[in-house]
């Protein structure tokens, strides 16, 4: 059991480190796209966005993320209160995913 736990901890540390680095970036701009990341086993990120009173802005979704745009800074807290793990700068994600 201990080996399983250590393996899971190592996997999460390696797998989540890029997300944690992105989450530490505080450059969210009003009116620009943000990626909302939520737990995939609990609920869809689009549901988190809707419950926060925002609209999804992209027809494509990742396994545990969806895009929206902020109209004011308080919406980040609303997203987190409604189940978002992270709210990440969408421009930064676009640069990382560019071909």
Q: Which pLDDT belongs to residue 65?
A: 87
Q: Which pLDDT belongs to residue 81?
A: 93
Which residues in 53-97 belong to E strands, given as ranges?
65-69, 84-89
Q: Which pLDDT belongs to residue 27?
A: 64
Contact 83, 46 (CB under 8 A): no
The answer, yes or no, to whether residue 49 has pLDDT greater than 80, is yes
d(Cα 65, Cα 37) in Å, to the nearest integer?
Answer: 4
Q: Which pLDDT belongs to residue 62?
A: 72
Residue 57 tokens read as 């802005």
Confidence of residue 88 (pLDDT cuts 50, 70, 90): confident
* Extents of the domains making up the chain: 25-97
The answer, yes or no, to whether residue 79 has pLDDT greater than 70, is yes
Q: Which pLDDT belongs to residue 28?
A: 73
- Domain 25-97 belongs in CATH node 1.25.40: no
Per-residue pLDDT tens over the stretch 63-75: 778 899 998 888 9
């Amino acid at each position: 059991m201990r080996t399983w736990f250590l393996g899971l901890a190592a996997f999460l540390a390696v797998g989540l480190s890029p997300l944690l680095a992105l989450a530490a970036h505080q450059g969210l701009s009003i009116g620009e796209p943000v990626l909302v990341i939520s737990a995939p086993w609990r609920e869809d990120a689009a549901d988190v966005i809707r419950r926060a009173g925002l609209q999804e802005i992209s027809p494509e979704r990742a396994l545990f993320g969806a895009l929206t745009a902020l109209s004011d800074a308080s919406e980040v807290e609303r997203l987190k209160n409604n189940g978002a793990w992270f709210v990440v700068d969408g421009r930064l994600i676009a640069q990382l995913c560019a071909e």
